[in-house]
Structure 1
Amino acid sequence: MRKPNIRLNRINDKTKLLLKFNYISSVLSLIIGLICSYIFHMYGTIPYVFYFYFVLNLLNIAAFNKHKNLTAMAICTSVLSFLSTVVITLFSGGINSPFIFILGLIVLAGYISTRVFGKVYLYLIITTIILIYLIDYINFDFIINEVPDSSRDLFSLLSILFSVYLLGGVLGKNLLNTHHKLYRSKARIEKSVDEKENLLREVHHRVKNNLQTVSSLLNLQARNTPNEQIKELVKSSQNRVIAMAMIHEMLYVRDNLSKIEFGSYVQELTQYLLRTVERKDRNIDVVLNIPDTLLSIDTAIPLGLLINETVTNSIKYGFKNQDKGEITIELEKRYQNKFILKISDNGAGFPLDYDFKNSNTLGIRLIHNLARQLQGTIERLPTQTGTIYKLVFQDIASQFNP
């Protein structure tokens, strides 16, 4: 509902501005017309143009009160203002007339209405000013200066006061009010964004704490059972929980609340796995080849769990009979949001007859499920030594993204 309200407020502001401009310009036109007739003793075209503008503009306002069409009123106002200004300019000195500055106000009023109107007025008035100059330059006989010599200074004064009042008292004041409204609106939006960011940061912090609590409970449960197989299962679950907790911790401590710096995350995760899964009598290195990449939380969580499974399998089973080993993780960005992730090790690898796709082990099934969650595919590439996983996936837009 906010967008319609904003649009309605914008229309109301334009309506108030245009009505104010019409009323003030009409009253001032009547006053200047009377001054021209009875003080400057001008009996030609100029005073009658002021009177006609006064009457026609009031009729324009009355028509708007019936049809409520803002665009129609704006067009009528602009046409009346443009024609009246051009005629008065031609009959009060042409290119040297002080009244020519009113044409600049018409351009400004056009841009306040709409950008399209503003551009139309701009090019039309530039063309008109050039034509007025050419008319003066050619010196057509039918164009005369109706302002008496004795009143030209006062007419210039009236024209300048008329321009300045419309510019400052109507258009300028409206621009200033609009600026203040935008400033207050921006301040409210920034405050709202800060509050939401703090709330979201607190959510990530609490989720991280809750996941760590779950991890601690799993750890206690593993200690209270003598069954080694159950301990291994609980430890695997604990590592999966920690993999998710790390993501929420990174979102909490960093500025970006919707994107994960993937390289830093993988480095923290693999170092944690090496500390908790690797035997102390072995030396396994992890080599990362990951460019600066930001991934959404909806991508980072399943991807982190997938890396957790593959790296854990490599550490636990790939180097059983080896004292040293190396695990390599490479990320390559292809096109749009497509990525290729390769996880390889130089360990013992799988038996040649091992059916990777139809395996019933929990870890392998979980890897396939996570790949589908990433809207991607995973395969084990043939190799003479070790194991190579190739995952093709795409970054999934997070629900927290702006």
Structure 2
Amino acid sequence: MKKHLGLIVFGVICFLMSSMKMQGQEVDSLLENHFQEFQNLPDSQTRSEFFFGNSNRYTLNPAYDWLDSVNIYLNTAEKENDSTAIVDYQLMQSQIYYDLGDYEKSLAIAKELYDRIDDFKMKVKTLILDLMDSNYAKLELYDKQIEVRRYKREIGITNNISFYDIYSSLGQHRKAMADYMTEEKKNIDEGDFLGQAIYNNNIGNYLRLDKSTPTALSYFNKAKALIDVYFSDVIKVKTKNEIVEANYLKGIVLGNIGKCHVQSKEYEEAIPYLEESIETIKKYNSGKFSTELVENTLEIAECYLQLNDYDKATDYLSDDLTPVRIENVLKKNRLYAAYYDRTGDYKSAIDYLKRNNRIRDSLDVNATNIKSQQLESVLSQDLEYSRKMMEEQKADLEKSRNEISEMDERISLVFISLIFTLLGFAGLVYAYLKSIKNQRLIAEQKHFIENSLIEKDSLLKEIHHRVKNNLQMVSSLLSLQTKNTRSKAAIVALEEGKSRVKAMALIHQKLYQNDDLSVIEMQGYIESLINSVQSVYKKGGHNINITIDAEGVELDIDRAIPFGLILNELVSNSFKYAFPHDEENGKIYIHLRKTAGQEGFFEYTDNGVGLPEDTEERANSSMGIRLMNRLANQLQTTLNTDRTTEGVRFWFNFK
């Protein structure tokens, strides 16, 4: 028995050593001289396939060597008037400029090819349009990017048009995440670990950009674990490009984890992740310009600066770092200014701050309005695309109905002919056949009614989803307006309006998420509403102990909307006025009961400073109090107010 056990252990050790050796050989093979192999290929077609098929092509030779070689081949092709070779080398030329971060040159070459796009095969069209799409994104020309994507759909390169990445670039990270989850999650197989890792990394990035750092970190950690599972899967055969892409993705995920720690001011925890990320990206994205590499380098420089390790901070800042995006240029100058300020070189600090001021002054004063117009354009395109999709679905449904109707008519004619043919038979046979026909018609009608109900539910959910999205867009537009408003009173009014719009949007979100579209489960809705209000009043909202007692209560939309707006006003007032010193023993109690056939009861109390003495005089001038009274009238009730020894109590009965 011991002998057999020893053989088994020995065999396992040998297998593991063999696997490690093979993996080391596989990684080493990634460092092959792709440039030399590229030059040895016989023609432009094989070179193009090799070039676009190797994502880590710049490992041993920089992109400039490739560009010089491609330029020589292009000149030769032009002298020989080889039109096919000219197109192949121009595509490679455009891709190399993109990899170097020279997006304007890359776009200029791609646009020149686009003018003759009807002359090319689908593979070449796809490369041209993908290059234009990527360059427009980097240059923030989102309206042009939308046109490219619509054209892709028109010529059959893609069936669906997605806008989530554009929404995120315009600051709408939550909407981008919602659309991304809706469109992409259904396309990922359970066994596709790399696809799941990409999905979780993208969701985490939307949350990180939206400042939901703890939740984003959980998605990034899950993505990292999935990449490890992908590498440990010895059954699936992986190509060299797949190994490169997976390692590059791991570098991006590690950098995102580090960025989350920086956002949480956990600088020592962030440094190891950022260092490993920089090393991995340099290795597996060699020779290409990488925004992630720039951002991670700036992040680690900030960590060392915050930890007062100025030597390492300047080492990273003085690294061969050439930011392209304006925000990265501003951040680099800001870090240099902070470094010189802390080391006493105030003149240099002021110089870098002046650079940032000049950059900001050089930006278009209408940048915010342009961004708003782009957002409006994307939204209109999205709505137009959704409308066309609904029209196509409606046309298909109508066609199906007509076919069913024609089939019913043919069946009826067959039965009528059969009845006349069999008139000589006994009445029993006739009655039997008629019974069969009636049963079939009943079954078809039942099936039709069931399908109609399903279609109605789907359309209602889509309507609520669209209404929620439109209300969110109104909230976003109010946010943009707030940034352009200097009046504090106007800003407060806009923020209050935005909070009320969010409360209504939450109603529609809960409706389309429910299986039953007629009612809303109030416990979950109140919890979501509290979280939304807390995100606005971050300073005091998180130290208050909030108790919600509404389990099992369901309201229809006509009562849920005024109720939600009343509760939004009460909670907002508590956060703003009830606890001016941010007491940790602050409490809010929300009680809601509704029994079938009986009156409902709502109660809201807090132990704050209570109502001022001139509350009744303020009622006539306060928009919030007037709004709550009007909403109570919609519920056919009266809002009652009681002053207590600690805080205040609001309550009312409703039908």
- Bucket of the pairwise TM-score, normalised by the shorter protein: 0.5 to 0.7
Aligned to 1:207: 467
Distance in 2, matches of 1:173 and 1:368, equals 66
Alignment of 1:145-156 (within 5 A): none
Aligned residue runs from structure 1 range 361-376, under 5 A = 361-376=622-637
Q: 1:269: Cα distance to partner?
A: 0.2
Out of 298-307 and 344-353, give the one that drifted further.
344-353
Counterpart for residue 251 of structure 1: 511
Partner of 1:329: helix, strand, or coil?
Answer: strand
| 1:269 and 2:529 are equivalent in the alignment | yes
SS at match of 1:377: coil
The aligned counterpart of 2:100 is none
Q: TM (normalized to structure 2)?
A: 0.34
Partner of 2:500: 240
Q: Structure 1 CA distance, aligned partners of 2:521 and 2:629? A: 24
List gaps (5 residues or longer) in structure 1.
1-19, 29-164, 395-402
The answer as to 2:561 corresponding to 1:293 is: no
Question: CA separation in 2, counterparts of 1:271 and 1:343?
Answer: 17
Residue in structure 1 matching 2:605, options 326, 344, 368: 344
The one-letter amino acid paired with 2:568 is N
Q: In the alignment, what sits opposite 1:354?
A: 615
**Could you tell me how far apart the structure 1 residues matched to 2:541 and 2:571 are?**
18
Separation in 1, partners of 2:541, 2:563: 29
2:553, 2:593 within 8 Å by CA — same for their partners in 1? Answer: no
Counterpart-to-counterpart distance in 1, 2:595 and 2:440: 46
- Partner SS state of residue 349, structure 1: coil
Equivalent residue for 1:311, pick from 562, 568, 571: 571
Q: Tell me which protein shows more helix as a share of its residues.
A: 2
* Cα distance change of structure 1 residues 370 and 357 upon mapping to structure 2, 3 Å threshold: farther
Call closer, same or farther: CA 1:209–1:375 in 2, change over 3 Å.
same
Q: 1:376 deviation in Å?
A: 1.6
1:377 aligns with 2:638: yes
Distance in 1 (CA, whole Å) between partners of 2:488 and 2:447 is: 59
* Cα distance per residue 1:205-231 (max 9 Å; x no partner): 111111001000111111222322221
Give the 3 Å change call, closer, same or farther, for CA 372–226 of structure 1 in structure 2.
same
For the Cα contact (< 8 Å) 1:326–1:345, is it kept in 2?
yes
More strand by share: 1
* Structure 1 residues 199 and 356: alpha-carbon distance in aligned structure 2, compared to 1, 3 A threshold: farther
Q: CA deviation at 1:334?
A: 4.8
- What amino acid sits opposite 1:188 in the alignment? F
The CA distance in 1 between the partners of 2:592 and 2:608, in whole Å, is 21
Q: Deviations over 1:165-203 (max 9, x none)?
A: 66x525444433222111110111112112222211111
- Deviation digits for residues 90-147 of structure 1 (CA, Å, limit 9, x no counterpart): xxxxxxxxxxxxxxxxxxxxxxxxxxxxxxxxxxxxxxxxxxxxxxxxxxxxxxxxxx
Partner residue, 1:186: 446
The verdict on how the C-alpha distance between 1:356 and 1:256 changes in structure 2, with shifts beyond 3 A counting, is: farther
**CA pair 284-245 structure 1, distance change in 2 beyond 3 A:** same
> Are 2:539 and 1:284 aligned?
no
| Structure-2 residue corresponding to 1:230 | 490
Query: Residue 253 and residue 282 in structure 1: after superposition, are their counterparts in 2 closer, same or farther (change >3 A)?
Result: closer
The whole-number CA distance in structure 2 between the counterparts of 1:331 and 1:270 is 15
- Report the equivalent of 2:282: none
More moved, 177-186 vs 234-243: 177-186
Aligned equivalents of 2:541, 2:522: Cα separation in 1: 30
Aligned residues: 237
> Secondary structure at the residue paired with 2:544?
strand
Does structure 2 retain, via aligned residues, the 8 Å contact 1:281–1:323?
no
String of CA shifts for 1:356-397, please: whole Å, max 9, x gaps: 895420000000000001112210023111111102122xxx
Q: What is the match of residue 392 of structure 1?
A: 653
Q: What pairs up with 1:138-149 in 2 under 5 angstroms?
A: none
For 2:528 and 2:576, how far apart are their aligned partners in 1?
19
> Partners of 1:385 and 1:352 in 2: how far apart?
15
Aligned-partner Cα distance in 2 for 1:281–1:240: 17
On the 8 A contact 2:540/2:575 being kept in 1, the answer is no
Q: Which whole-Å CA distance do the structure 1 matches of 2:615 and 2:525 have between them?
A: 31
- The aligned counterpart of 1:161 is none
Matched to 1:363, the amino acid is G
How far residue 321 of structure 1 moved from its aligned partner, in angstroms, is 2.7
Give the secondary-structure state (helix, strand or coil) at the position aligned to 2:650.
Answer: strand
Q: CA deviation at 1:318?
A: 0.7
Matched residues in 2 for 1:210 and 1:340: separation? 32
- Equivalent residues of 1:278, 1:316 under 8 A apart: no
CA RMSD for the aligned pairs? 2.8
2:540–2:579 contact (8 Å) kept in structure 1 = no
Q: CA deviation at 1:285?
A: 2.1
The code of the aligned residue for 2:604 comes to I
Query: CA separation of 1:247/1:337 partners in 2, compared to 1, >3 Å: closer, same or farther?
Result: farther
- 1:219 is aligned to 479
* 8 Å CA contact 2:610, 2:646 repeated in 1: yes
Aligned to 1:130: none
Larger radius of gyration: 1
CA 1:295–1:281 in structure 2 vs 1: closer, same or farther (change >3 Å)?
closer
Question: C-alpha separation between the residues in 1 aligned to 2:485 and 2:448?
Answer: 56
Q: Does 1:260 align with 2:528?
A: no
The DSSP-based 3-state class of the residue aligned with 1:341 is strand
Question: Do the aligned partners of 2:543 and 2:582 also contact (CA within 8 Å) in 1?
Answer: no
Structure 1 contact 330–341 (Cα < 8 Å) conserved: yes
TM-score, normalised to structure 1, is 0.54
CA gap of 1:293–1:334, structure 2 versus 1, over 3 A, is closer
Distance in 2 between residues matched to 1:372 and 1:281, nearest whole Å:
29
Q: 2:78 corresponds to which residue? A: none
Residue segments in structure 2 that go unaligned for 5+ positions in a row: 1-418
